[in-house]
Each structure stands twice: as C-alpha cells, then as structure tokens.
Amino acid sequence: MYEFISGPLALISFAIFFVGIITRIVWYVKGLDWRLDRVAYTEKLGAGITGAARSLFHWLLPFNRTTANHPVFMAVTYLFHICLVIASIFLVAHVVLIEESWSISWITIPDYIADYMTLAVIAAGIFFLIRRLTDPNVKILTTASDYIVLAIALAPFITGYIAYHQWMDYKFWLIVHILCGEIMLIAIPFTKLSHFFLFFCSRIQLGMDYGIKRGGAKGRGIAW
C-alpha cells in the first residue's frame, strides 16, 4: 500500500497538479481580449513590466494601503501562506522522497522549524474556520465548498504532525498524510486553492494594465 501511494499514485497526483496548473493559466491568458490591447502592450511593454512588478511587490507585502483596515486577518493570512509553502517544499522528508523518486534535491529546513510552521498553519486554519463561523460578513458568503477546501489544505499538516510525533500508529498516519497531500495536489487546479498561482496571473495582468493604459507605474493614487 505504502509503495503504491508513495510511488505511482504520487506520480499521478503531480501530473494532474502540473497539467491542471498549466491548463488554468492558458485558459486565463486566452480569456483576455488581447486584440484590443496589442498596440498599447507592444508600444509600452516596458511600462507594463514595471507596472506588473510594482503590483506584485505591493500585494506580496504583509501590510499595504489596501489591507490596512484588517491587520490581524492579514497577519494571520500572511503567516499561513508563508509557513504552508516553506514547510511543504523544504521539509527534509519531502525533499528526500522527491530525491528518491526523481533524483532531484534542494536545500531543506530543520525539522524543528518545520514543526513550528506546521503548528502555525494549523492555528491559522482554526482562526479562518472560527472567522467563517462567527463573522456575519464572512459567514453569509461561505459555502460548504469553502469548508471542504480549508479541510483539504489543513489535513496534510494535521496528519503530518501526528505522524512525525508518532502519537499513534506511525505507518497508518504516514499513509493518511501522503494521501491527504496527494488529494491537495489534485484539488489545487480545480478549487479555490488555485488562487495560489492565479493570484500572480491576475496581479501581473492588472499591474500591466495600470502601467500601460493608466500610468499606474508612476501614479501614487491607485491602490494596487
């Protein structure tokens, strides 16, 4: 069972993940009406690139003019995403698994740091859940799929934490952890989790739009 889940099923999950991401990005780009903008984008490409860079920089900061009214939410959101990405990609066990499967390796972080980041992700996820259950403005917009997506995002970290600390049957929780990770990979292109890469597409496109058409690269009054 372990050999299948960590071998062929992992390959299938990564294949769906990468093909799904590429497909969504292609759909996004094809959905833009470039015919109306090709002259402006051709003549002012430099301004567009500058605008895109400024837009990304602005929105990748934990606090900016746009998010100043929600400092606690933005701090938790920033911590959640940073810890989720770093712990997933640079955990020693994950890198070793990738190296054994595909002979690819990169730097890792100490296990104790990954442990703290895992707890941060879980705590932030609980914060998001409580917020959806108690904040009227958020609750009215929340659907069942939002809870499912949150569960999909948290499950690999909860099961991984249990497996790493060997609180119960290690082999069982390791298998569950790998399955949860693969479910998350498969779900990313097809759910709201796709925002992790579509965010960059939309910020680049909007930044280029402001930079080329509206002088956003130099303007200071636009809340990027």
Number of folded domains in the chain?
A: 1
User: Are the CB atoms for 175 and 5 separated by under 8 Å?
Assistant: yes
Residue 218 forms part of a structural domain: no
Residue 93 forms part of a structural domain: yes
87-114 confidence digits (pLDDT tens):
999 999 889 888 887 788 899 999 999 9
Residue 205 forms part of a structural domain: yes
The token duo for 125 is: 């996820």
Residue 12 forms part of a structural domain: yes
Range of the domain at 16: 2-213
Residue 223 forms part of a structural domain: no
Residue 55 forms part of a structural domain: yes
93 phi, psi to nearest 5 deg:
-60, -35
Entry pTM: 0.80
Cα–Cα nearest to 131, from 191, 211, 74, 49: 74
160-176 confidence digits (pLDDT tens):
999 999 888 889 999 99
Cα separation of 20 and 194, whole Å? Answer: 9
Cα separation of 163 and 224, whole Å? Answer: 42
Cα separation of 206 and 204, whole Å? Answer: 6
User: Are the CB atoms for 78 and 61 separated by under 8 Å?
Assistant: no
Residue 222 forms part of a structural domain: no
Residue 46 forms part of a structural domain: yes
CATH (domain of 144): 1.20.950
91 phi, psi to nearest 5 deg:
-65, 135
